[in-house]
Structure 1
Amino acid sequence: MKIKKFLNTILLFEIIFLLQQNIFAAGDELNTVMSIMLVFTVIIIAATLWLSVVYSEKNDNEGKAFLNPYRKFMKMLTKSTPIENEKDILLDHEYDGIKELDSKVPPWFAFLFYGTIVFSIIYMVRFHVIGSGDVQAEEYLEEIRAAQVERQILIKTGAFLNEETVTFTKDAGALSNGKDIFIKNCAACHANDGGGLVGPNLTDEYWINGGGIKNVFKVIKYGVPAKGMISWQTQLSPTQMQEVASYILTLEGTEPANPKQPEGEKWVEPKEEETKS
């Protein structure tokens, strides 16, 4: 009877699995699911037939031969005393009619206990004696140091530069780079000396889209499509845009060869921004 129950249980799980796959399978996954179902069905049928043959040959309808390896493993793992032998380990005393067995500690529990002792020794030596392990506070400080290093690298690459954080740079090398960028990319519209050609004069105090480093940087970055100026953010790095914007601001007050008439409104630098510059 037990073997029949076992086989029926296997078949029941197979049916549930197949129904579940049919419910959730859809679209392109249907063929894959059907293939898996077919293979799974063949395996289950083959296993069921094999078990039936084995049990019929051994006349083991109760499934004792099949479960024997499992029982041996559990006995080795627990060292439990069979019920028929419990009288041999029964202690003399009892409490309110409750008797106690002198059972051995299960090997799995003993191994787990000794394992925790070994782990605690290794943990203590590594984290509190040798000091080679990173405790939580040290890990946090190390992450902070790594973040600071990464931040400095990003600052140098200009990753943090945008129209809100950019500042005017007085560095001679940066201004020289800005001049080269201006002559290469901007002179065609604004002239080499900034006096203006198609684009406006950059040497006076008047600005169409606002003056100051932040406004100039913003115009370079996003362009002015309505006036025919393209966006340079895909061709210039944030640092390069800062350099050329700073160079443009140094042109104010110079005397170009053929200056265009002023355009826009006169720009007065805000005190806060003026102080930063």
Structure 2
Amino acid sequence: MLKRITVILLALLLDQFLGDPPNRWHPVAWMGRGIAWSQRHAPGGGEAPARQLAYGGAIVLVGVSLAATAGVLLARLARSLAWPGIVVEALALKATFSLRGLIRAARQVETALLAHDLPSARRWLSWHLVSRSTEELDASQVAAATIESVAENLSDGVLAPLTWYTIGGLPAAWAYRFLNTADAMLGYRDPAREWLGKIPARADDLANLLPARLTALFIILAAPLAGGNVCRAWRIWRRDARKTTSPNAGHPMSAMAGALGVRLEKSGHYVLGDELAAPIPSDIERAIHLVHLGLPYP
């Protein structure tokens, strides 16, 4: 366990100082290309849903198996190298998350909002953080969506792979990363992916049940470090976590709403912390500050 803690700390440092490699060298980009190839060869939208469902299950089974096998091989390589192997293992783990990229994207939105450049803020938000339309969002709604994305991506993009690494080493972390990537690419309710993405989406929900709740607790415990309120964070989390359609996303988002004392709302879908103030651009930096203080991250 001590070794894994060391690897996690080193991976966080590598993320801060090195960032992500170019896509042609990034394992997650390779996973994405494999999923895209599989999608191009999937049964068409007019085919029986059962065929699409089975094909999506096959993508998960094959992809998770290959990713876990790669994790096994990398772990064996790391063990064979004695102490330099810790660096190899940390590099392999760092490939499964990008906290630096998340924070940079959030700050780009904040910078645009503080400059009163709402069109650019909407554009940065749409490009890097959310898949929904941002055309009609006002400044407060853009700030809210950014804070939500910081909380949700902290869970499934950072703490989830670290959780699975703690449980099962590199094989588990890499398998999780493939599963989460498959859900991000296929888990949509449109005619082409309604059935194709159903198994990836449900499997990703299962894989994030524990990390999402751990992330909520992390945010609650870190709240006082950033001037937040731990009791309010706990109360809003317990009350509002199940208001989202996702079984997991509401946990880190409601905890963040309570920790910062801001209302996070997606019009027509949910309101988290409905009695709290609407967020302003500087609340984005408060969310980032909470993450920085809670994690051993420079």
What interval of TM-score do these two structures reach, taking the shorter chain for normalisation?
under 0.3
Larger radius of gyration: 1
TM-score by length of 2: 0.22
TM-score (norm 1): 0.23
More contact order relative to length (CA 8 Å, sep ≥ 6): 2
